[in-house]
Structure 1
Amino acid sequence: MLTFDILAQVLWTSFATSTYLVLFAVAFALVLKVNRIFNFAQAAVMTVAFYAAHATVSMAGLPGWLGCLLALVAAVTASALLELVGFRSLRRRRATPMFVFIFTLIVSEMVAYLAMLIFGTWPTTIFPSLFWPVTLVGNVAVSDWDLPAIASMVGALALLFGFLRYAQTGRFMIAVADNPDLAELYGIEKDRVYLATIVTAGLLVGIGMCLYGSRAQVQPTTSIELMLFAVAATIIGGIGNLWGAALTAVALGVVQNASVLFIPAEWQGFLLYVFLFLAIVFLPNGIRLPDRRRGLARRIARVDLGETKPAETAAASGRGKA
């Protein structure tokens, strides 16, 4: 029988565990928005970040903060190599979007296979134990993992918002996302912006994998499943809408976790493919809000380029660089 306490516990736990899903979805949506790439190789970056932390903490016995720091370094390095060696080379050769998409799939599978060879296929975690101390708030159990995870997600998104809105490189990213050719005409180097974008996404991925790896067991192929969730959130939230992807990731995470109240736990993974199927077939352009509600959506997603005139964006960015 469902009670208020049970529903409150499920909703709190679902919201807390959606933190890393939000970071994965925003990272994927950011690269898609600016670089115009369906970057399934993000799964490879996620795998590299997790095993860097795992090797540091679980295998070498070093502090957890150092493991997470090295996870960020590994994610940024892998992302930069992916752009410099892979995507930049493909752009110079005028590779088609389909060819680039296939390249990202190959990279993600190759890294997963290498992780199997090096670390094996047994599920692992960053810390030796997944059990976190719990404090009762009313009748809701709040673990010591929950609040730091939520704070990490909120902090990362706040920094991203400030970076895109106020930093020169962030404004350049918006200009290139709006109109890359016009932005380049005003003196913005697209290659540098693409590199900055994928490195920024790598930081979000690194934070997300530190959270996930300290909460759940990870196998070399786990990142691919997490990527599919990010894709579903990006599509439903509206391609090009970072904050729409974030809100959708929270909603999908709550639905998926709360489904344990109605269906067996082993069916939760199946829901991911249901989300993807519905998103691709019925919501290829995302959820469209009625006109009377779009004012709120615009205030939430101020960095969405639909609100900025292309010429003004590129001109302002060009003047900023000058």
Structure 2
Amino acid sequence: MLTFDILAQVLWTSLATSAPLVLFAVAFALVLKVNRIFNFAQAGVMTVAFYAAHSAVSMAGLPGWVGCPLALAASAGVSALLERVGFRPLRRRRATPMFVFIFTLIVSELIAYLAMLVFGTWPTTVFPSLFWPVTLVGNVAISAWDGPAIGAMLVSLALLFTYLRRARTGRFMIAVADNPDLAELYGIEKDRVYLATVVIAGLLVGVGMSLYGARAQVQPTTSIELMLFAVAATIIGGIGNLWGAALTAVALGVVQNASVLFIPAEWQGFLLYVFLFLAIVFLPNGIRLPERKRGLARRVASVDLGDPAPDPAPARREA
């Protein structure tokens, strides 16, 4: 029987466990919008980030706080390497999007294979134990992992939003996402913007895998499944809509976690493929709001990098 306490527990747990998934979805959506790449190599970056943190904390016995900076450094470094030795040469050779997509698949599978050779296939975690202290708030159990996970996700998104709107390179990213050739005509170096984009996405992935690996077991192929979740959220949320991808990741996380109330737990993974199938077949352009509501929704919940900022000059001239 469903009660308010059960629903509240499912909702809270779903919101907390969605935190790393949101970061994965936003990272994928960011590279897709600015660099125009379906970057399935992000799965490989996620694998590198996790095992960097795992090697430091679980294997080397270093303090737990060391794991996250190492994961960030590893994911950002691998992302930059992929851009310099992979994506940039492919752009210069005018490789087709399909060829670039195949390249990203090969990279992700290669990194997973190397991780199997080095670390084996046994599931493992960042910390030696997955048990976190639990506090009851009313009748809802809140673990010591939940608050920091949600906080880290919100801080990461806030920093990204601020960077895109305030930082010089962030505004360049918006310009390149809108029209890369025109941006280059105005003196913006596209290669530097593409590099900055994949590095920022790598940092988001590093934070996400540090959180995910602290609460769930990971093996070399886990990142590929997480990648599919990010793809589904990006498609349903609308390609190029970062915050649409973030909100969709939360919604899918809630649905997936709430499904245990109706179907056996072993079928939860099946829902991921259902999401992906429905997204590709029925929502290839994402969820579209009615015209009269879309403006408000975009102001509240989305940052569409393809929309230039309005020019206030006409308003001043009319005044």
TM-score range, shorter chain: over 0.9
Matched with 1:274 is 274
Amino acid at match of 1:97: P
Structure 1 residues 220 and 302, CA gap change in structure 2 (3 angstroms): closer
Matched with 2:234 is 234
Counterpart-to-counterpart distance in 2, 1:305 and 1:61: 42
The 3-state SS of whatever aligns with 2:287 is coil
User: Which whole-Å deviations, capped at 9, do the CAs of 1:145-172 have from their partners, x for residues lacking one?
Assistant: 0000000000000000000000000000
Matched with 1:67 is 67
Q: How does 1:136-285 map to 2 (within 5 A)?
A: 136-285=136-285
Displacement of 1:68 in angstroms is: 1.1
TM-score between both structures, scaled by the size of structure 1: 0.95
- Give the share of equivalent positions with the same residue, in percent: 86
User: Which whole-Å deviations, capped at 9, do the CAs of 1:273-292 have from their partners, x for residues lacking one?
Assistant: 00000000000000000122
Displacement of 1:302 in angstroms is: 5.6
Matched with 2:133 is 133
Counterpart-to-counterpart distance in 1, 2:97 and 2:64: 39
Displacement of 1:301 in angstroms is: 4.7
**Does 291-300 or 147-156 show the bigger shift?**
291-300
Q: How does 1:43-54 map to 2 (within 5 A)?
A: 43-54=43-54
Matched with 1:316 is none
Matched with 2:300 is 300
Runs of 5+ in structure 2 lacking a partner?
Answer: 312-319
TM-score between both structures, scaled by the size of structure 2: 0.96
Matched with 2:317 is none
Amino acid at match of 2:74: A
Structure 1 residues 19 and 289, CA gap change in structure 2 (3 angstroms): same
How many residue pairs were aligned? 311
Matched with 1:320 is none
Counterpart-to-counterpart distance in 1, 2:67 and 2:303: 32
The 3-state SS of whatever aligns with 1:277 is helix
- Alignment check: 8 A CA contact 1:174 1:303 kept: no
- Alignment check: 8 A CA contact 1:243 1:300 kept: no
- Alignment check: 8 A CA contact 2:237 2:247 kept: yes
Counterpart-to-counterpart distance in 1, 2:265 and 2:305: 40
Displacement of 1:294 in angstroms is: 1.1
Amino acid at match of 1:259: S
- Alignment check: 8 A CA contact 2:235 2:286 kept: yes
Displacement of 1:306 in angstroms is: 4.2
Counterpart-to-counterpart distance in 2, 1:18 and 1:43: 17
Amino acid at match of 2:245: A
The 3-state SS of whatever aligns with 1:141 is strand
Structure 1 residues 307 and 92, CA gap change in structure 2 (3 angstroms): closer
Displacement of 1:189 in angstroms is: 0.2
Displacement of 1:299 in angstroms is: 1.0
Displacement of 1:305 in angstroms is: 3.1
User: Which whole-Å deviations, capped at 9, do the CAs of 1:271-322 have from their partners, x for residues lacking one?
Assistant: 0000000000000000000122213222135631343169x7xxxxxxxxxx
Counterpart-to-counterpart distance in 1, 2:212 and 2:279: 24
Matched with 2:107 is 107
Write out the 4+ residue segments of structure 1 that deviate beyond 3 Å after TM superposition.
Answer: none
Runs of 5+ in structure 1 lacking a partner?
Answer: 313-322
Amino acid at match of 1:80: A
Matched with 2:36 is 36
User: Which whole-Å deviations, capped at 9, do the CAs of 1:81-139 have from their partners, x for residues lacking one?
Assistant: 01000000101111100000000000000000000000000000000110100000000
**Does 62-71 or 96-105 show the bigger shift?**
62-71
- Alignment check: 8 A CA contact 2:178 2:307 kept: no
The 3-state SS of whatever aligns with 2:65 is helix
User: Which whole-Å deviations, capped at 9, do the CAs of 1:177-227 have from their partners, x for residues lacking one?
Assistant: 000000000000000000000000000000000000000000000000000
- Alignment check: 8 A CA contact 1:241 1:301 kept: no
